[in-house]
């Protein structure tokens, strides 16, 4: 479980522990991972893990296998940067690709190698932003689209190889996590604050476990929002016009929030 020191990752770890799994929580903040593991108890283990390090995924998989059969792997770690698509400094471009895309690919490969013919489930946390344009969050949306595409292709490769491993991608709408709340006054992140109340991390984790229990490759949470976003994709130019209006709603909500915080 990557990125499990807090937020969605921690919620997944709790749910998996409740389901009887012994969980290994990893996070770039190793202390946070250890604190979360102690909170969960039941033999949970917390380890430092920078998902940008490809070899580190294999080491984590080996350590997890020493505790028992590796049955579930969740690639949850992610970062978000907001702003006009052309405005991001080099370090943001490199970081978001390394964490959100390379981390998922390396984690999935390590999980497949460790699970092998014993089988298991891989869950990659993508986003509803994978389904269409998200002005202001172009880098984030592009990486999550890559995660969704990679997961579908991964499942095809697994089926072709005859490996009893299921790959899934979860695409939640905005979730009330620290990653989102820290962007409350960032103008580029207006779309994050334009819709209904953010989802609860535990509800997202529950949907993820339901997804892994079946054969569906990806699921949008909530489902109706996925249908709405895909509808905008039918006519891209018109869809971007609609998103421009929605973005201005987010701008106003951000402004009101900023005034209240002063």
Catalytic positions, please? 140
Q: Which alpha helices (H) appear in the chain, and where do they start and end?
A: 7-18, 30-40, 54-67, 90-97, 103-115, 138-161, 178-181, 201-212, 223-232, 236-261
2 touches 56 (CB < 8 A): no
Note the maximum CA span of the chain: 59
Crossing angle for the helix pair 30-40 and 7-18, to the nearest 10 degrees: 30
161 touches 112 (CB < 8 A): no
185 membership: H or E segment, kind and range: none
Q: Which residues make Cβ contacts (< 8 Å) with residue 9, sequence separation at least 6?
A: 1, 2, 3, 25, 27, 74, 76, 77
243: tokens are 């998103």
């Amino acid at each position: 479980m990557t990125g499990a020191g807090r937020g969605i990752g921690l919620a997944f770890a709790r749910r998996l522990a409740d389901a009887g799994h012994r969980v290994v929580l990893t996070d770039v903040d190793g202390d946070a991972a250890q604190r979360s593991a102690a909170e969960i108890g039941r033999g949970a283990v917390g380890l430092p893990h920078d998902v940008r390090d490809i070899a580190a995924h294999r080491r984590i998989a080996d350590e997890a296998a020493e505790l028992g059969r590796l049955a579930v792997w969740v690639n949850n770690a992610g970062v978000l940067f907001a702003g006009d698509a052309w405005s991001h400094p080099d370090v943001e471009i490199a970081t978001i690709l390394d964490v959100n895309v390379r981390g998922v690919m390396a984690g999935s490969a390590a999980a497949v190698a460790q699970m092998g013919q014993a089988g298991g489930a891989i869950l990659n946390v993508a986003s509803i932003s994978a389904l269409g344009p998200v002005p202001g969050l172009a880098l984030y949306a592009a990486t999550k689209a890559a995660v969704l595409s990679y997961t579908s292709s991964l499942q095809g490769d697994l089926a072709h190889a005859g490996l009893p491993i299921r790959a899934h991608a979860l695409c939640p709408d905005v979730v009330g996590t620290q990653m989102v709340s820290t962007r409350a006054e960032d103008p580029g992140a207006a779309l994050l604050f334009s819709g209904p109340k953010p989802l609860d991390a535990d509800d997202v984790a529950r949907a993820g476990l339901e997804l892994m229990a079946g054969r569906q490759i990806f699921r949008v949470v909530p489902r109706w929002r996925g249908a709405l976003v895909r509808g905008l994709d039918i006519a891209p130019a018109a869809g971007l016009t609609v998103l421009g209006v929605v973005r201005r709603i987010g701008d106003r909500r951000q402004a009101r929030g900023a005034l209240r915080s002063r």
